[in-house]
C-alpha cells in the first residue's frame, strides 16, 4: 500500500507541478493567470488518445502532434483571450476571457470527443511492473521540463529575454525586446508544457474532458502555495500535494480526500495569501 | 472667452434644481414594468411546458439577483456560487422531509435555509478580502465541488447518491401555475430589493470598491463590512433559490448541481453588464430560455454561454446594459467649459466645528533603505491653503499618503488638534473630515458623474442596509439629501450640466474637478489635493484657484501638493518646500520666492 | 441529443384498419406514447440498448395496423442521464404533448424525480428501473415496473457469491448515482443477513480514472469477491482492468452491464473478462444443454433480419425494449387508451409473454418480473448475444 501511495502520489504530484509551471510561464509573460492551463493538460491526454489509439499513428508522431496541439492552443489563448484585455483598464477581464476560452474548449471536447473517460494507449509495450511507466513517465516529464527551463533561462538568449520581460516589462521594451513575439512564444511554450503533462499522465488520468476543471484547480494549488511565478516552489508544492492527496485517497477514499485537500488549501491560503514562499505585494497609491 | 457666463447672485436657482428629472425614473422603470406585466399574464399564453421554463428562469433570477451584487457591483469573481444553491436545496428538502428532525412546514424550512445560506455566503465570500482575484475565483470553485462531495458522502442526511424529495409548498402554491406565481413573486421582490440597493449608497459604495478602491477608502467606505453584508444577503437569496429549485425538480440528487449551472449564473451577470439590474435579469432569461428553442442547443448550451461571454468581454464589456444605455450615446457638447461657482462653496461647507490644526510632527518614513521622508514638520491650519512643493521624488505624494493613512511613519506622528492619528486606518480619515484627491483621478467610469460625487458623502447616510433593501423612509431621505448635496457640490465646481453623464466620457480636467466635488461632499475640515492642476489649461487653473480660495475661506484647511509655481504662489498662505524628504524651506510665498536654495534647487532663474 | 422525434409512419396500414367500424375520430388519432430514455451521458448503455428494441416493436405494431387502427406515435425526450433534464422532459410530455402513457426513464436516478411528477399528472407509467422504492401501488397507483427489483437482483447475486462460490468476505462497490447508492444500501444488509462479512463498502465517482486505491483497500481488508453495481461501462471496465493489472484472482459478481459489449470493448486484455459473473435472465440465456428457447431464437432471427446491432450491448435490454410497447399495445387493444382503463387492465395482467420474461401484475404488486428467472451468467461465454449460465449454478 505504501509503495502505491508513494508512486502514484509522486506521479500525480509531477503532473500537478507541470500544470503549475504552465500557469507560471503564462504569468511571467503577461502578469495574468489563465484558466486555460488545466485545459491544456486535458488536451494533451485527449490528443494523445486520439492520434495514437483512435487513429493508429506511431507513438512518437502522436506525441509530437499532441505537443504541437498544445502549442497551438497556447498561442490561441494569447491572441484571443490575453492580448486584447491587457490593454484595457479593467485589470480583471483576463479572468473572464480565459475562463470563457477554457470552457469553450472543454465543452467542445466533451461533445465531439466523449463525455466519458476514454482509454489512453500504453506508450511503451513493456510488461506491467510495480514501478510502472504510468508512474515514471510523468516524473520524467517533470524533471525534463525543470531542467529544460533552467537551461533555457540561464543559457540561452531567448531565455534571458523571457526573464527580462517578466522582471520589468517597460524596461525590456525600452531595450527593444519584441514584447509581443516573446509573449506569444511564452504562451506556446506553456502550451507545450501543459500538453506534455496531460500526455505523460494519460494512462493515469485517461482521456477525459472533465480532467480540465480538475487540473485547473489542482494545478493552481502549487502556484498559490509556492508563490506566483516561482517554479521551484511550484514543484515542491506539487509533489507535496500529490502525496497528500493520494495518501488521503488510499486511506479514506475519494470523497473525503478532496474535502481534505481543499480545506488544507484554503486554510494555508488564508493564513498566507502570498503563498508559503512568496512575498507580499506593496500597493501603489 | 467662454460663452457660458456665470449667473449673477439674483439669478441663482435653488440648489438641486438641475437634478435629473423624475421623468427619467419612469423610463428606467418601464422595462421592469413590462416584464412584470408579461410575467403576470404568462399563464394566459404560455403552455404547461413553457410554464416550467418560466418558473425555472424566476428561480435562477432569485439567485442571480443576489449574486449580481457580488459579481456585478462588487466585482468579485465568485464563479462557484452553485454551492449556495446546493446548500439551500438540501437544507429546505431535508427539513421539509423530516430526515433529521421532525418535518417542518416548507416555509419555515425555506426561512432556515435562507439563514444557513447567509452564513455560508459569508464563509465562501470572505476569502475575497484576503486573496487576489484569480485565487478567490479558484477557491469558490473548490467550495462548489466540496459541497457536492459532502452531499454525496453524508448519506444519512442527504440520501447520498439517492437524494431526497424536494419540498412541496401548500395550497395555493402546489399547482403548477400556483408555484409559478410563488417563484415569480419572489423574483419580483428580489428585483425590487436589489434595485433599491443599486440606487443606494451601498450600491454606489460597491462599485467604488470595484473600480476605485483607493477613492472608496478615502470616502470612508469600509470594504470588509460592506462586502460581508452583501455576501450575507447573496447567500441567503441563493439558498432560497435552492429551496425553490428543489421544489421545481420535485427530487434532488447531487448531480443536479453541476458546474455548468454555476457558469450559467456567472455568465448571465456578465452578459447583462455590471452595475445593472435589468441587464443581468435579461441575461438570466436569455440563458435559461435559449437552449429550449432548439434541441441540439441543449447539449451545446454551455459552449454557447462561453462564446457569449468571450464576445462580451472582448467587444462590449458593458454587456446588455451598455447596449441599452441610449442616453449615454447622445453626443456631449464639444467645447464645454468648467465654470465653478465659488459662492456656493460656503453654502456647501456649512459650519464645520473647528477641528484644530493638522500637524506633522517629525515624521520619518523609509522604504527599505530609501528615506522617503526624513524628519518632516508641517502645520496645516484651518482656513488656509498650505502648499507643498519640491522636485520629483522629494516625498510630496508620500507625505500626503502618510497623512491620509496609507503608510505608517516609522518615527513621529500626524496629529489632529494634538491627538495622534492612528496609522494605516485610511477609511477612518473620512470620519475625521479629512478628504483627498489623487494624482490620477480615481473615478467609477461606468457610473454617472452625480453618482461619483454622491460616493463622497457615503458616510453621512443613516439608513442601514436593510432599510435600503426595503426602501424605507430613512433610505429615501438619505438619497434625497445626498442627491441634493451632490448637485450643490457639482454646481460649486461648475459641472452640474454633466450630472447624468457617464463619468468615463468626460475629459481629464473635468475628472479632476469631480474629485474635488466628491471631496467637498464630506464637508471636510481638511482637503488634501494631489497635483490637481496637472493637465489643466491656464484658464482652468485660474478657475481652480478661485475655487480653492473659496474652500479655504469657508474654513477648510487645504493642503496643496503641486508643481505649478504660479498656482502655488497665487493662493497659498504658507509653503513648505521638500527636497529628498527633508524640508528645504518653509514660509510665506514671498519668503520662499526669494529663498536662495529653493531658487537654485527648484525654481531656477 | 434531445430531439422530439415523431415517428409518423405510412398511413396505408391505418387506412386498412379504419375500415373496421369504429367512431371516425377515434380511428384516426394516433396514440401518443411518451418515452424518456437516456441515450447519451454516463448512464446511457441501458437506454441505447432498450431503444433498439422499442423502435423495432413500434415499427412492427404500426405496420400491422397499429392499435385498433390508431398508430403509435413515440415521442422521445433524451434525458442525457441527467435527472434535471428527465424532469423537464416528463413535464413536456405530460403537460405539453399530453401523452397517454409514459415509458421510462430507464435509470433509477432519473426515475426518482419523475415518478412523483407523473403521479401528480395522473399519467400511467411503465419503467424498467430496479431501485425498490420506485413502485408503490398505494402512493403511485399508476406506476408499473416491467423489470426486476433490486431485491430480486441482489438476492440472486448474493446467493451466488455466498452459497455457490462460498465466499464470506465481500467487497461491495458502486458509483455515486442514485442507482448505485441505493443498490449498496440495499445489498449490504442482505449480504449480512446471509451471514456474509462486508469488508469493504464504497461509492466512487464513476469518472474516477484510478480505482487502484479502492481495490487495494479491498485487498488489504481481505475481500474474496468484488460486487460492483453500476451501469457505467467505463467504471466497470476499470474495475476489471485494475483487478487484472494487480493479478488479483477474485471473482467479480454483479450488475448485468459487466457483460455488455461496451464493457468488453474497454478491457485492456480479453482474458481479463474471465471470472466475471453478471446477472441476467434465464429466458435469454443458453440452458444447461446449450439451447435457447424458441421464443428467444425467433427474436434473435428477427433482430438479424432487421439488422439490429447486438455486439455492443446486451440482448435482454433489447428484449425488454421490444416487450414494453407490445404490453402497452395489448392493454390498449383491450380497453382503449383511457388512463384508468389501462391501469386496471395492467393490474390484472397475468403472464404477458415477453421475450425476456413473462410479466404479471396485481393491484398490490406492481413489480412484474418473476423471481425465479433472475440468474447469474459467465461474461466471457458471450455468443450471439446470449450467455451461458455461471458455473456451479443450478437451475
Residue C220's alpha-carbon distances to C130, C169, C200, in angstroms, are 31, 12, 10
Contacts of B354 (CB under 8 A, 6+ apart): B382, B525, B555
The reply to whether residue A224 touches residue B135, judged by beta carbons under 8 angstroms, is: yes
Contact criterion met (CB below 8 Å) for C95 and B176: yes
- List phi, psi (to 5°) of C201: -145, 120
- From the CB of residue B357, how many other CB atoms can be counted at a distance below 10 Å? 16
Tell me the per-residue pLDDT of A75-118, one tens digit each, with 9 for 90 and over.
999 999 888 888 776 667 888 899 999 999 999 998 898 888 88
Q: Report the C-alpha gap between C65 and C13 in whole angstroms.
A: 5
Q: Identify the chains in contact with A, defined as 3+ C-beta pairs within 8 A.
A: B, C
Tell me the per-residue pLDDT of C248-284, one tens digit each, with 9 for 90 and over.
999 999 999 999 888 998 898 899 999 999 999 999 8
Span B495-514, average pLDDT: 91
Q: Where are the domains of chain A?
A: 2-122+135-271
- Closest approach of chain B CAs to the CA of A201, in angstroms? 22
Cβ of residue A92 closer than 8 Å to a chain B Cβ: yes
Residue C160's alpha-carbon distances to A193, C155, C172, C189, C195, in angstroms, are 51, 9, 14, 16, 13
Q: Report the C-alpha gap between B2 and A276 in whole angstroms.
A: 61
Sheet strands (E) in chain C: 31-35, 72-76, 101-103, 125-127, 143-145, 169-175, 197-204, 225-229, 252-254, 276-281, 352-353, 358-359, 374-383, 386-389
- Closest approach of chain B CAs to the CA of C117, in angstroms? 7
Q: Where are the domains of chain C?
A: 12-149+296-370, 151-288+374-389
Tell me the per-residue pLDDT of C280-326, one tens digit each, with 9 for 90 and over.
999 989 988 888 888 999 999 999 898 888 888 889 999 999 999 99
Interface with chain B: mutation pick from C5, C44, C83, C187, highest number of B CBs within 10 Å: C83
Q: Report the C-alpha gap between B306 and B199 in whole angstroms.
A: 30
Cβ of residue C205 closer than 8 Å to a chain A Cβ: yes
- Closest approach of chain C CAs to the CA of A140, in angstroms? 20
Residue A38, judged by CB atoms within 10 A of its CB (0-12, 13-18, 19+), counts as: buried
Interface with chain C: mutation pick from A254, A256, A259, highest number of C CBs within 10 Å: A254
3-state secondary structure B65-81: HHHHHHHHHCCCCCCCC
User: Is the pLDDT score of B361 beyond 60?
Assistant: yes
CA closest to B161 among chain C residues: C178
Give pLDDT, residue B295: 64
Top-tier CATH class for A2-122+135-271: mainly alpha
Span A1-22, average pLDDT: 92
User: Is the pLDDT score of B324 beyond 60?
Assistant: yes
Q: Report the C-alpha gap between B460 and B265 in whole angstroms.
A: 34
Give pLDDT, residue A285: 52
| Most trustworthy range by pLDDT among A189-193, B384-388, C20-24, C78-82 | A189-193
The DSSP secondary structure of B237-298, one letter per residue, reads HHHHHHHHHHHHHSEE-GGGS-HHHHHHHHHHHHHH-TT-SHHHHHHHHHHHHHHHHSHHHH
Contact criterion met (CB below 8 Å) for C284 and C319: yes
Query: How many helical (H) and strand (E) elements, i.e. helices and strands, does chain A have?
Result: 13, 0
Percent of chain B surpassing pLDDT 70? 94
How crowded is the C-beta side of B461, counted as CA atoms within 13 Å? 30
Tell me the per-residue pLDDT of B131-157, one tens digit each, with 9 for 90 and over.
888 889 989 988 998 898 889 888 888
Q: Judged by CB atoms within 8 Å, which residues 91-150 of A form the interface with C?
A: 115-117, 119, 128
According to DSSP, residue C367 is labeled B
Virtual torsion, Cα B113, B114, B118, B119, nearest 10 deg: -30
Contacts of B492 (CB under 8 A, 6+ apart): B340, B341, B342, B344, B345, B348, B517, B520, B547, B550
Cβ of residue B49 closer than 8 Å to a chain C Cβ: yes
The reply to whether residue A253 touches residue C216, judged by beta carbons under 8 angstroms, is: no
Top-tier CATH class for C151-288+374-389: alpha beta
Q: Report the C-alpha gap between C61 and C329 in whole angstroms.
A: 8
Contact criterion met (CB below 8 Å) for B492 and B341: yes
Least confident of A243-247, C117-121, C320-324, C390-394: C390-394
The reply to whether residue B162 touches residue C185, judged by beta carbons under 8 angstroms, is: yes
Burial C59-81 (b: 16+ CB within 10 A, else e): bebbeebbbbbbbbbbbbbbbbb
Q: Report the C-alpha gap between A104 and B310 in whole angstroms.
A: 9
Assign B340 a pLDDT band (cuts: 50, 70, 90). confident
> What's the helix, strand, coil split of chain B in %, to 5?
60, 10, 30
Q: Report the C-alpha gap between B551 and B382 in whole angstroms.
A: 10
- List phi, psi (to 5°) of B468: -70, -40
Q: Report the C-alpha gap between B68 and A141 in whole angstroms.
A: 43
Contact criterion met (CB below 8 Å) for A196 and A175: no
Contact criterion met (CB below 8 Å) for B223 and B129: yes
Tell me whether strands B419-420 and B411-416 are parallel, antiparallel or unpaired. antiparallel
The reply to whether residue B298 touches residue C175, judged by beta carbons under 8 angstroms, is: no
User: Is the pLDDT score of B602 beyond 80?
Assistant: no
The arrangement of strands across the sheet holding C276-281 comes to: C197-204, C169-175, C225-229, C252-254, C276-281, C374-383, C386-389
User: Is the pLDDT score of A127 beyond 90?
Assistant: no
Cβ of residue A111 closer than 8 Å to a chain B Cβ: yes
The reply to whether residue A213 touches residue B259, judged by beta carbons under 8 angstroms, is: yes
Is C151-288+374-389 the same fold as C12-149+296-370?
yes
Percent of chain C surpassing pLDDT 90? 51
Task: Choose the closest CB to A92 out of B133, B305, B438.
Answer: B133
Cβ of residue B263 closer than 8 Å to a chain A Cβ: yes
Cβ of residue B159 closer than 8 Å to a chain C Cβ: yes
Is residue B320 reached through a cis peptide bond, with omega within 30 degrees of 0 on the bond before it?
A: no
Q: Report the C-alpha gap between B523 and B551 in whole angstroms.
A: 10
Which residue from A260, A275, A259, A218 is spatially nearest to A242, judged by alpha carbons?
A: A218
Task: Choose the closest CB to C3 out of B49, B251, B295.
Answer: B295
Q: Please give the ipTM for the structure prediction.
A: 0.88
The reply to whether residue A117 touches residue C40, judged by beta carbons under 8 angstroms, is: no
- From the CB of residue B133, how many other CB atoms can be counted at a distance below 10 Å? 16
The DSSP secondary structure of A34-53, one letter per residue, reads -THHHHHHHHHHHHHIIIII
Query: How many helical (H) and strand (E) elements, i.e. helices and strands, does chain B have?
Result: 25, 12
Cβ of residue A259 closer than 8 Å to a chain B Cβ: yes
List, in order of start, the domains of chain B with CATH numbers.
23-326 (1.10.3470), 342-433+523-603 (3.40.50.300), 447-521 (no CATH)
According to DSSP, residue B369 is labeled T
Give pLDDT, residue C393: 73
Contact list, A206 vs chain C (CB under 8 Å): 209
Give pLDDT, residue B600: 72
- List phi, psi (to 5°) of B142: -60, -45
Residue whose grid cell is 466585482: B75
Give pLDDT, residue A132: 85
Contact criterion met (CB below 8 Å) for A5 and A245: no
Q: Report the C-alpha gap between B539 and B548 in whole angstroms.
A: 14
- List phi, psi (to 5°) of B383: 80, 5
Contact list, B403 vs chain A (CB under 8 Å): none
User: Is the pLDDT score of A4 beyond 80?
Assistant: yes
According to DSSP, residue B419 is labeled E
According to DSSP, residue B15 is labeled T
Residue whose grid cell is 456451479: C392
**CATH no. for C12-149+296-370:** 3.40.50.2300
How close are the terminal C-alpha atoms of chain C, in Å?
42
Q: Model-level pTM greater than 0.90?
A: no
Amino acid at each position: 500500500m505504501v509503495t502505491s501511495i508513494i508512486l502514484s502520489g509522486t506521479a500525480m504530484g509531477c503532473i500537478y507541478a507541470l500544470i503549475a509551471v504552465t500557469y507560471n510561464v503564462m504569468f511571467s509573460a503577461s502578469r495574468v493567470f489563465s484558466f486555460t492551463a488545466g485545459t491544456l493538460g486535458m488536451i494533451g491526454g485527449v490528443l494523445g488518445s486520439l492520434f495514437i489509439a483512435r487513429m493508429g499513428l506511431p507513438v512518437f508522431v502522436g506525441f509530437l502532434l499532441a505537443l504541437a496541439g498544445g502549442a497551438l492552443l497556447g498561442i490561441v489563448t494569447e491572441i484571443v483571450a490575453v492580448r486584447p484585455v491587457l490593454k484595457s483598464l479593467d485589470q480583471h477581464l483576463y479572468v473572464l476571457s480565459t475562463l470563457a476560452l477554457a470552457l469553450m474548449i472543454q465543452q467542445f471536447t466533451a461533445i465531439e470527443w466523449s463525455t466519458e473517460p476514454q482509454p489512453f494507449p500504453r506508450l511503451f509495450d513493456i510488461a506491467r511492473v510495480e514501478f510502472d511507466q504510468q508512474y515514471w513517465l510523468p516524473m520524467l516529464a517533470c524533471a525534463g521540463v525543470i531542467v529544460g527551463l533552467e537551461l533555457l533561462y540561464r543559457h540561452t538568449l531567448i531565455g534571458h529575454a523571457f526573464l527580462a520581460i517578466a522582471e520589468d516589462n517597460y524596461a525590456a521594451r525600452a531595450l527593444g525586446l519584441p514584447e509581443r513575439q516573446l509573449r506569444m512564444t511564452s504562451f506556446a511554450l506553456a502550451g507545450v508544457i501543459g500538453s506534455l503533462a496531460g500526455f505523460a499522465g494519460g494512462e493515469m488520468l485517461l482521456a477525459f474532458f472533465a480532467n480540465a476543471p480538475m487540473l485547473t484547480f489542482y494545478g493552481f494549488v502549487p502556484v498559490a502555495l509556492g508563490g506566483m511565478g516561482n517554479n521551484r516552489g511550484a514543484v515542491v508544492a506539487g509533489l507535496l500535494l500529490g502525496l497528500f492527496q493520494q495518501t488521503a485517497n488510499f486511506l479514506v477514499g475519494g470523497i473525503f480526500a478532496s474535502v481534505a485537500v481543499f480545506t488544507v488549501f484554503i486554510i494555508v491560503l488564508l493564513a498566507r495569501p502570498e503563498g508559503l514562499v512568496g512575498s507580499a505585494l506593496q500597493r501603489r497609491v | 472667452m467662454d460663452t457660458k457666463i456665470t449667473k449673477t447672485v439674483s439669478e441663482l436657482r435653488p440648489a438641486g434644481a438641475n437634478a435629473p428629472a423624475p421623468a427619467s425614473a419612469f423610463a428606467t422603470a418601464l422595462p421592469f414594468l413590462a416584464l412584470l406585466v408579461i410575467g403576470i399574464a404568462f399563464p394566459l399564453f404560455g403552455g404547461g411546458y413553457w410554464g416550467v421554463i418560466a418558473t425555472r428562469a424566476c428561480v435562477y433570477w432569485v439567485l442571480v439577483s443576489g449574486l449580481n451584487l457580488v459579481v456585478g457591483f462588487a466585482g468579485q469573481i465568485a464563479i462557484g456560487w452553485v454551492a449556495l444553491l446546493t446548500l439551500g436545496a438540501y437544507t429546505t428538502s431535508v427539513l421539509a422531509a423530516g430526515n433529521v428532525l421532525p418535518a417542518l412546514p416548507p416555509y419555515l424550512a425555506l426561512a432556515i435555509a435562507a439563514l444557513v445560506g447567509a452564513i455560508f455566503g459569508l464563509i465562501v465570500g470572505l476569502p475575497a478580502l484576503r486573496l487576489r482575484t484569480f485565487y478567490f475565483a479558484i477557491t469558490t470553485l473548490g467550495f462548489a465541488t466540496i459541497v457536492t462531495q459532502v452531499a454525496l458522502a453524508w448519506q444519512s442526511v442527504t440520501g447520498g447518491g439517492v437524494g431526497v424529495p424536494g419540498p412541496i409548498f401548500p395550497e395555493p402554491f402546489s399547482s403548477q401555475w400556483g408555484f409559478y406565481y410563488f417563484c415569480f413573486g419572489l423574483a419580483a421582490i428580489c428585483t425590487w430589493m436589489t434595485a433599491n440597493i443599486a440606487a443606494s449608497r451601498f450600491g454606489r459604495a460597491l462599485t467604488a470598491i470595484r473600480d476605485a478602491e483607493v477613492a472608496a477608502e478615502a470616502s470612508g467606505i469600509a470594504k470588509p463590512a460592506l462586502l460581508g453584508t452583501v455576501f450575507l444577503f447573496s447567500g441567503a437569496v441563493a439558498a432560497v433559490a435552492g429551496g425553490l429549485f428543489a421544489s421545481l425538480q420535485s427530487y434532488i440528487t447531487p448531480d443536479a448541481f453541476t458546474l455548468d449551472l454555476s457558469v450559467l449564473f456567472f455568465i448571465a451577470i456578465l452578459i447583462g453588464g455590471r452595475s445593472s439590474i435589468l441587464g443581468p435579469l435579461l441575461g438570466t432569461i436569455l440563458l435559461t430560455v435559449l437552449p429550449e428553442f432548439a434541441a441540439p442547443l441543449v447539449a451545446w448550451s454551455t459552449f454557447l454561454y462561453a462564446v457569449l461571454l468571450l464576445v462580451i468581454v472582448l467587444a462590449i464589456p458593458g454587456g446588455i446594459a451598455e447596449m441599452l444605455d441610449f442616453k449615454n450615446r447622445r453626443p456631449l457638447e464639444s467645447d464645454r467649459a468648467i465654470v465653478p461657482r465659488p459662492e456656493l462653496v460656503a453654502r456647501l461647507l456649512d459650519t464645520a466645528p473647528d477641528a484644530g490644526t493638522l500637524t506633522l510632527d517629525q515624521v520619518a518614513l523609509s522604504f527599505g533603505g530609501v528615506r522617503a521622508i526624513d524628519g518632516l514638520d508641517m502645520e496645516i491650519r484651518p482656513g488656509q491653503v498650505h502648499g507643498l512643493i519640491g522636485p520629483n521624488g522629494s516625498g510630496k505624494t508620500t507625505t500626503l499618503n502618510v497623512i491620509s493613512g496609507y503608510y505608517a511613519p516609522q518615527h513621529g506622528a500626524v496629529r489632529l488638534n494634538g491627538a495622534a492619528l492612528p496609522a494605516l486606518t485610511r477609511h477612518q480619515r473620512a470620519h475625521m473630515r479629512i478628504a483627498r484627491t489623487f494624482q490620477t483621478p480615481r473615478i467609477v467610469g461606468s457610473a454617472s458623474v452625480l453618482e461619483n460625487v454622491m460616493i463622497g458623502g457615503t458616510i453621512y447616510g443613516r439608513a442601514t442596509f436593510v432599510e435600503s433593501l426595503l426602501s424605507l423612509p430613512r433610505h429615501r431621505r438619505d438619497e434625497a439629501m445626498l442627491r441634493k448635496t451632490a448637485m450643490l457640490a457639482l454646481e460649486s465646481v461648475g459641472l452640474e450640466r454633466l450630472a447624468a453623464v457617464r463619468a468615463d466620457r468626460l475629459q481629464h480636467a473635468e475628472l479632476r474637478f469631480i474629485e474635488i466635488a466628491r471631496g467637498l461632499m464630506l464637508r471636510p475640515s481638511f482637503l488634501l489635493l494631489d497635483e490637481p492642476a496637472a493637465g489643466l489649461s491656464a484658464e482652468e487653473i485660474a478657475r481652480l484657484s478661485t475655487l480653492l480660495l473659496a474652500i479655504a475661506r469657508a474654513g477648510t484647511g487645504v493642503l496643496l501638493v503641486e508643481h505649478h509655481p504660479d498656482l502655488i504662489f497665487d493662493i497659498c498662505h504658507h509653503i513648505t518646500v521638500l527636497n529628498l524628504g527633508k524640508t528645504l524651506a518653509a514660509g510665506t510665498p514671498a519668503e520662499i520666492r526669494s529663498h536662495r536654495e529653493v531658487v537654485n534647487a527648484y525654481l531656477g532663474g | 441529443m434531445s430531439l422530439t422525434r415523431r415517428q409518423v409512419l405510412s398511413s396505408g396500414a391505418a387506412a386498412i384498419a379504419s375500415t373496421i367500424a369504429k367512431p371516425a375520430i377515434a380511428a384516426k388519432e394516433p396514440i401518443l406514447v411518451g418515452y424518456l430514455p437516456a441515450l447519451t451521458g454516463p448512464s446511457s448503455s441501458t437506454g441505447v440498448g432498450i431503444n433498439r428494441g422499442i423502435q423495432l416493436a413500434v415499427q412492427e405494431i404500426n405496420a400491422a395496423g397499429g392499435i385498433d387502427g390508431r398508430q403509435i406515435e413515440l415521442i422521445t425526450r433524451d434525458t442525457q442521464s441527467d435527472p434535471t433534464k428527465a424532469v423537464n422532459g416528463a413535464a413536456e410530455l405530460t403537460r405539453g404533448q399530453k401523452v397517454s402513457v409514459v415509458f421510462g426513464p430507464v435509470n433509477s436516478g432519473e426515475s426518482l424525480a419523475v415518478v412523483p411528477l407523473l403521479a401528480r399528472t395522473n399519467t400511467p407509467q411503465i419503467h424498467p428501473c430496479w431501485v425498490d422504492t420506485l413502485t408503490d401501488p398505494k402512493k403511485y397507483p399508476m406506476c408499473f415496473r416491467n423489470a426486476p427489483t433490486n431485491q430480486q437482483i441482489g438476492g440472486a447475486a448474493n446467493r451466488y457469491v455466498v452459497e455457490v462460490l462460498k465466499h464470506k468476505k465481500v467487497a461491495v462497490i458502486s458509483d455515486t448515482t442514485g442507482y448505485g447508492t441505493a443498490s449498496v444500501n440495499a445489498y449490504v444488509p442482505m449480504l449480512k443477513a446471509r451471514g456474509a462479512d462486508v469488508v469493504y463498502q464504497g461509492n466512487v465517482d464513476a469518472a474516477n480514472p484510478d480505482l487502484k486505491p479502492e481495490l487495494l483497500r479491498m485487498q488489504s481488508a481481505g475481500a474474496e469477491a468484488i460486487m460492483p453495481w453500476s451501469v457505467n461501462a467505463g467504471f466497470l471496465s476499470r474495475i476489471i482492468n485494475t483487478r487484472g493489472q494487480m493479478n488479483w484472482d477474485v471473482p467479480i459478481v454483479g450488475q448485468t452491464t459487466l457483460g455488455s459489449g461496451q464493457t468488453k470493448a474497454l478491457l485492456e486484455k480479453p482474458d481479463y473478462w474471465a471470472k466475471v459473473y453478471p446477472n441476467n435472465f434465464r429466458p435469454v440465456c443458453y440452458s444447461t444443454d446449450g439451447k435457447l428457447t424458441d421464443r428467444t431464437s425467433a427474436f434473435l432471427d428477427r433482430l438479424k433480419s432487421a439488422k439490429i446491432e447486438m455486439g455492443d450491448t446486451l440482448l435482454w435490454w433489447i428484449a425488454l425494449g421490444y416487450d414494453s410497447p407490445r404490453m402497452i399495445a395489448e392493454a390498449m387493444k383491450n380497453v382503449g387508451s383511457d388512463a384508468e382503463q389501462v391501469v386496471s387492465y395492467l393490474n390484472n395482467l397475468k403472464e404477458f409473454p415477453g421475450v425476456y420474461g413473462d410479466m404479471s401484475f396485481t393491484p398490490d404488486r406492481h413489480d412484474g418480473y418473476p423471481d425465479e428467472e433472475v440468474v447469474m451468467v459467465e461474461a466471457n461465454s458471450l455468443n450471439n448475444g446470449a450467455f451461458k449460465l455461471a458455473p456451479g449454478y443450478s437451475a
